[in-house]
Chains A and B, each alone.
Chain A
Amino acid sequence: MTLYISATFKELTRKRVFLVTIILTFVFLILFAFGVRELAGMGGQNMVSPAERLLNSMVLMVLGLFFAQFLASFFVLFSAMGTVTGEQENGLLLAVAARPIPRWKLYLAKWLGHAVWVAVYSTVLFVSVVWTIHSQTGFPVRAEELLRGYGLFLWMPLLLLTVTMLGSVYLPMLGNGICAALLYGFALFSGLIEGVSVYEGTHPVIEKFVFLTGLLLPTDSVYRRSLYELLGGADWAGLAMADMGPFSMPSVSSNAFLLYTVGYAAVLLLLGCRAFSRKDL
């Protein structure tokens, strides 16, 4: 299994496209830090109350992590969309799959190889955004909430990775990339729709739509729960997120739903192993 972690690392560090990703991420983080510093300075000049400052910092946190999860998701989509059919089409898999290693192990090793570096990338994004806001706005960070929020923030791209890799067993590389991006966009969109609908009460049809989309690709639900935990759970999150337009959060997924996502990912991984084992290369 460690073989693919180091192989993926070499791929990430030596391919130019990933170098560009790292540079652009770095630029994003610098600009974000600069923006947050400016906004925090404006707040200080205007002599806002501590409660307002807390609310402002929460808004910044929501926006920062929204873009961070966006970047993490695109990192997953671009690195994993051709895992099986892409490598089959360009011939990379042929010599590998003939080796005496069971296909299911190969699939899990590839998942793990991607997962480790997706987690590293997401950690860099999460820590950078949270640290920037904490240091510039004084946003209170409590270890327990931070860990819960961080764990769920990592889980979101890993879920997307699992779905994308399963798709790569069946669909050609480009088709899978489009399909996974659409699914992800669909989940994101449903979350935004739910946020907007908070003003006039959530319509039952929208509720069902959000629920079904969440079942199909629960990334947005997991991301929102991550935010909820990071922002202080029931103590503070409701305060900040009830009036943020599309970023509002009228409801958060339950622990049972989080368990469902774990089972969902496990089933998708098993399906991927099975399908890859039976695939003619």
Chain B
Amino acid sequence: MMMIDTADLTKTYNGRGGCRGITLQVPEGSIFGLLGPNGAGKSTFVKMLAGLHRPDSGRANMLGLPLGRPEARRKLGYLPELFRFQDWLTPAEVLRFHGRLGGLRPQETRAPAFRRRIRDTLELVGLSEAEDRRVGGFSKGMQQRLGLAAALLLDPELVILDEPASALDPVGRYEIRSLLKRLRSKGVTIFLNTHLLEDVEELCDEAAFLYGGELLASGPLHKLLSSTGDSGSSGANWRFRLGGWLPETWAELNDGAGGALTSLLHLVEADESGNALLSAHVTDREQAGYLCSIFIRSGLTLYESGPEPNSLEAWFLRMAGSRQGGVPQ
């Protein structure tokens, strides 16, 4: 079953901003990452899923039910991006409050089983020692952990996390990553809106890329990484490490190839001792081999040649760059 299934979902603010025509599916039991630069419309999309924004048009189902239905929201855990809890409450009281909002009766939230559940959830997010402290004295990271505890309190089937690790230190981020992996192993579906690409790279099975309110790419992460930002071309980025490089070599290479190389090759770096690193976007291995032969014929020493490792950061920059009218180098 698709835990989230949207078709042409649109929300704009007086015709501007927001997101338009978003169609994506999030499979059950997966971790799905939503990526995009600031102002891409990610938060608008997440808020529509959480029922905080009303879509202008389009269709969306969550847990098999139309968006906004209480039955679906009962199985949803949501961590907002910029949120706060009541300063005057303790974490246990915040969770009891959210238990009641989640549909539990007063006697259920007072029962020993639920108290145990609160303690377990606080322990899960590393807040057990702060159980009786007022939230007003919490750091941003502790508030973030409490937000996560509130999202996970009622055993949700789908968890939507809006920048869950933004206020956490490296240890906290590592703990949250481990927690999300454990949740996935229990079959919980996680929808992750984050700027932390290493989190997406490590955790996500699938991802989507939003830019300017439009969905540019969506699918399994490995497939996205093997694609380029330019939807009209395919291939890979190739690196060449060369020796014997002189300041005039670039012009000589170009002259030798009739000026065709400048559109293909890019000089990444060169030093005074003659070492240079070049990159090129090639359509296949043969094209890379042809470039190698040009280098060797020109008297250069070819130390190393091979495809660039496909990092999510490079993919992200290519995707964003392709929409800005140029590929960032």
Contact B47 A99 (CB under 8 A): no
Task: For residue B328, give the distance in angstroms from its CB to the closest CB of chain A.
Answer: 34
Residue pair B70, A102 in contact (C-beta under 8 Å): yes
In the complex, chain B residues 92-147 whose Cβ is within 8 Å of any chain A Cβ: 93, 97-98, 100-103, 106, 134, 147
What string of 1s and 0s marks CB contacts (under 8 Å) between A94-106 and chain B?
A: 1111111110000
From B74, B106, B150, give the contact of A95 (CB < 8 A): B150
Q: Is B290 an interface residue (CB 8 A)?
A: no
Determine if A3 and B88 form an interchain contact, defined as CB atoms under 8 angstroms apart. no
Interface 1/0 per residue, A206-233 and B, CB below 8 Å: 0000000000000000000000000000
* B51 lies within 8 A of A97 (CB): yes
Q: Answer yes or no: B229 CB below 8 A from chain A CBs.
A: no
Residue from the list B53, B54, B101 in contact with A99, Cβ < 8 A: B101
State the CA gap A96–B89 with chains docked (Å): 15
Interchain nearest-CB distance for B278 vs A (Å): 49
State whether B88 touches A15 (Cβ < 8 A). yes
Any chain A CB within 8 A of the CB of B303?
no
A95 engages B147 (CB within 8 Å): yes
Docked complex Cα distance between A70 and B70 (Å): 41
Contact between chains at A92 and B83 (CB < 8 Å): yes
Contact B84 A91, beta carbon cutoff 8 Å: yes
Partner of A280, one of B53, B78, B83, B102: B53
Task: Give Cα distance in the complex from A102 to B89, angstroms.
Answer: 24
Q: How far is the CA of A90 from the CA of B86 in the complex (A)?
A: 10
Whether the pair B80, A91 counts as a contact (CB closer than 8 A) is yes
Contact with B along A77-95 (1 / 0, CB 8 A): 0000000000000111011
**A98 and B84: CB pair below 8 A?**
no
B52 contacts which chain A residues (CB < 8 A)? 94, 97-98, 280-281
B82 contacts partner chain A, Cβ-Cβ < 8 Å: yes
* Contact flag A278-B54 (CB < 8 Å), given A10-B89, A92-B83, A100-B73: yes
- State whether A95 touches B83 (Cβ < 8 A): yes
Number of A residues, CB within 8 Å of B = 22
Interface residues of A in 100-116 (CB under 8 A from B): 100-102
Complex CA distance for A99 and B79, rounded to whole angstroms: 11
A49: CB under 8 A from chain B? no
A91 and B78 within 8 A (CB): no
- Please state if A92 and B85 are interface contacts (CB–CB under 8 Å): yes
A7 contacts the other chain (CB 8 A)? yes
Contact assessment for A7 and B97 in the assembled complex, using a CB-CB cutoff below 8 Å: yes
Complex Cα–Cα for A15 and B134 (A): 11
Residues B88 and A95 in contact, CB atoms below 8 Å apart:
no
Contacts of A97 in B (CB 8 A): 51-52
In contact, A100 and B71 (Cβ under 8 angstroms)? yes
Q: Name, among A3, A90, A91, A95, the residue most crowded by chain B CB atoms within 10 Å (CB to CB).
A: A95
Binary CB contact string for chain B from 57 to 95 against chain A (1 if under 8 A, 0 otherwise):
000000000000011111010111011111111000100
A46 interfacial contact with B, CB 8 Å: no
Contact: A98 with B102, CB < 8 Å? Answer: no
**Residues of B contacting A2 in the complex (Cβ-Cβ under 8 angstroms):** 106
Is A11 interfacial (CB 8 A cutoff)? yes
A3 to B97, Cβ gap below 8 A? yes
CB distance from B74 to the nearest CB of A (A): 4
Kindly identify which residue among B71, B88, B100, B106 contacts A10, using a CB–CB cutoff of 8 Å: B88
**Alpha-carbon gap, A11 to B150, bound state (A):** 19
Bound Cα distance from A90 to B97, whole angstroms: 18
Choose from B51, B79, B85, B88 the contact partner of A14 (Cβ within 8 Å): B88
Contacts of A14 in B (CB 8 A): 88-89, 134
Are B54 and A11 interface neighbours, CB within 8 A? no
B47 touches A280 (CB 8 A): yes
Which chain B residues lie closer than 8 Å to A7 at the CB level?
86, 97
| Nearest-Cβ distance from residue B141 to partner chain A, whole angstroms | 16
In the bound assembly, the distance between CA atoms of A59 and B76 in angstroms comes to 60
Asked if B50 lies at the interface with its beta carbon under 8 angstroms from chain A, I say yes
Enumerate chain A residues within 8 angstroms of B83, measured Cβ to Cβ: 91-92, 94-95
Please name the residue on chain B nearest to A2 by beta carbon.
B106
| Bound-state Cα–Cα, A7 to B97, Å | 8
Give the chain B neighbours of A95 by CB distance below 8 A.
78-80, 83, 85, 98, 147, 150-151
Binary B-proximity of A49-92 (CB < 8 A = 1, otherwise 0): 00000000000000000000000000000000000000000111
| A98-B74 contact given A3-B101, A280-B54, A281-B47, CB 8 Å threshold | no
Q: Is the CB of B80 within 8 A of A100?
A: no
Beta-carbon contact of B84 and A99 below 8 Å: no
A267–B103 alpha-carbon span in the complex (Å): 28
A to B CB contacts below 8 Å, 27 in the list? A7-B86, A10-B86, A14-B89, A14-B134, A90-B84, A91-B82, A91-B83, A91-B84, A94-B80, A95-B83, A95-B85, A95-B150, A96-B101, A98-B50, A98-B51, A98-B52, A98-B73, A98-B78, A98-B80, A99-B98, A99-B102, A100-B73, A100-B76, A100-B103, A101-B101, A280-B54, A281-B52
Interface residue ranges, A against B (CB under 8 Å): 2-3, 7, 10-11, 14-15, 90-92, 94-102, 278, 280-281
Known: A91-B83, A95-B80, A97-B51. 10 other contacts (CB 8 A): A3-B101, A95-B151, A98-B73, A99-B98, A100-B72, A100-B76, A102-B70, A278-B54, A280-B54, A281-B47
- For the complex of A and B, the 9 pairs showing the least CB-CB separation, nearest first, are A14-B88, A94-B80, A100-B70, A99-B101, A91-B83, A100-B73, A91-B84, A98-B78, A281-B52
